[in-house]
Amino acid sequence: MQNLLNDISAQASAEPDKGNVATYIPELAGIDPNQFGIAIALADGQVFTAGDADVPFSIQSVSKVFALALALGRVGDQLWQRVGREPSGLAFDSILLLERENGVPRNPFINAGALVTTDTYLAGSSPREALGELLRFVRAAADDDSIHMNEKVARSEIATGHRNFSLAHYLASHGNLRASVDKVLGTYCHQCAVEMTCRQLALAGRFLVDADDMLALVSIERRRRINALMMTCGHYDGSGDFAFRVGMPGKSGVGGGILVISPGRASIAVWSPGLNRYGNSKLGTEAMELFARKTGWSVFGVPHMQIEGDV
C-alpha cells in the first residue's frame, strides 16, 4: 500500500495539467496548485500517506457529508420531506431546478440541499452551538481535537457568496428554511471552512467504513445510505463520471479535497487544489482512478479482487 501511494503521488506531481484553482472564494484563489496529498485509513485505523498528506486544506463541500450525518441524527427520515435523493445533473450552485421543484432541492450535496441540511442541524440552536456540534462530530470521527475552522475563509465566502444567498432566499420563499438566511449562510460558510489534512480527513471518514468504534456516530443503515448518496450525487454533474472511473462513493469540495469510501475496507482522502470542469479535483480524481485500477477496490467489483499485483 505504501509503495502504491508513493507511485500515485509521484505520478500526480509529474502531471503538467493540474486543473484550475477555485477563484470565486477569494481566500482560496491564492492556493498553490502544485500540491498533492493522499492518505488512506483502513477500517482498523492503520494509516498510510504520501505527498502533502499533512498540509491542511479547506474541506469545503466534503463537510456536507458530516453535516448530513448530523442532520439525520437530529430529525431522521423527516429530512427527506425537505430535500430529495436524486442527482441533479447540474452544477453545484445551480438554482434552475429549485424553481421547477418548488424549493425542494434534489439532494443534500448540491448547495441548495446542503443549505437545508445546515438549517436542519441549526434548528433551535445558535450558529455557535451548531458549529460546535459539527466540530465535535468531526473531531470525534478523526479522534483529533486539533481540527478547526478557518475564520478568514468563512468570512471571505460570506462576503462574496451571492449565489448561495440567492439559493437561501429562494428556499426561504418556499418555506424551506427555518432559521434566517443570514444565520444559515453564516453557519454553512463556517462549516465549509473546516480545515483538515488528508491524514485527518481519511481518519474522519472512517465513520462511513465498517469500523466498530464508529457506530456511536452513525448507524449501519444511515452509513449505507450516506454512501449511496455519495456515489450518486457526491460529485455534482460529474457524479456519473466519478462512479464510472473510480467506482467508489466519494464527496468532493472546491478546496480540491475528495473523500472516498471503500465500504468495509478503508477511507481515502486525496487533495490537490486544481479543479476539473465539474469543479472536482483534477489530479485527485485521476489519482483515485489509478488507485481503483491498481487495487480493484470498486463497489462494482468482486470483493477483495486485486487486479494488478499485490497491494
Residue nearest to ligand GLU (CB): 61
Q: How far apart are CA 252 and CA 15, in angstroms?
A: 20
Q: Where are the alpha helices (DSSP H) in 196-281?
A: 198-204, 220-233, 239-245
Q: How many residues bind ligand GLU (CB under 6 A)?
A: 11
Is the separation of the CB atoms in 162 and 1 below 8 Å?
no
Minimum gap (Å) between residue 258 Cβ and ligand GLU: 11
236 is catalytic: yes
Minimum gap (Å) between residue 100 Cβ and ligand GLU: 21
Is the separation of the CB atoms in 62 and 259 below 8 Å?
yes
Tell me which of 9, 58, 61, 252 is the catalytic residue: 61
Cell numbers of 124, please?
433551535
Q: What string marks each residue from 162 to 181 as x (binds ligand GLU by CB under 6 A) or -? A: --x-----------------
Q: Which of 61, 117, 197, 267 touches ligand GLU (CB under 6 A)?
A: 61
Q: Hey, which bits of the chain come out as E strands?
A: 37-42, 47-51, 57-58, 148-149, 194-196, 250-252, 257-262, 266-271
Does the protein bind ligand GLU through residue 281 (CB under 6 A)?
no
Minimum gap (Å) between residue 257 Cβ and ligand GLU: 9
Tell me which of 62, 254, 260, 270 is the catalytic residue: 254
146 is catalytic: no
Does the protein bind ligand GLU through residue 192 (CB under 6 A)?
yes
Cell numbers 468532493: residue: 252
Does the protein bind ligand GLU through residue 108 (CB under 6 A)?
no
Q: Which of 246, 279, 285, 287 touches ligand GLU (CB under 6 A)?
A: 279
Characterize 270-284 residue by residue with b for buried, 16 or more Cβ atoms within 10 angstroms of its Cβ, and e for exposed.
bbbbbbbebbbbbbb
Does the protein bind ligand GLU through residue 92 (CB under 6 A)?
yes
Q: Please state, as a whole number, how many other Cβ atoms lie within 10 Å of the Cβ of residue 235.
A: 28
Q: How far apart are CA 69 and CA 196, in angstroms?
A: 18
Does the protein bind ligand GLU through residue 118 (CB under 6 A)?
no
188 is catalytic: yes
Minimum gap (Å) between residue 277 Cβ and ligand GLU: 13
Distances (CA, A) of 197 to 13, 264, 274: 18, 23, 16
Q: What string marks each residue from 248 to 277 as x (binds ligand GLU by CB under 6 A) or -? A: -----xx-----------------------
Q: How far apart are CA 86 and CA 97, in angstroms?
A: 12
Question: Which CB, 253 or 263, lies closer to ligand GLU?
Answer: 253
* End-to-end CA gap in the chain: 5
Q: How far apart are CA 195 and CA 198, in angstroms?
A: 10
Q: Which of 52, 93, 195, 237 touches ligand GLU (CB under 6 A)?
A: 93
State the pairing for strand pair 257-262/57-58. unpaired
251 is catalytic: no
61 is catalytic: yes
Is the separation of the CB atoms in 209 and 261 below 8 Å?
yes
3-state class of 30 per DSSP? coil
Cell numbers of 276, please?
476539473
Minimum gap (Å) between residue 117 Cβ and ligand GLU: 12
Does the protein bind ligand GLU through residue 107 (CB under 6 A)?
no
Q: Which of 5, 36, 120, 157 touches ligand GLU (CB under 6 A)?
A: 157
Does the protein bind ligand GLU through residue 60 (CB under 6 A)?
yes
Residues known to be catalytic: 61, 64, 188, 236, 254
List residues binding ligand GLU (CB under 6 A). Answer: 60-61, 92-93, 111, 157, 164, 192, 253-254, 279
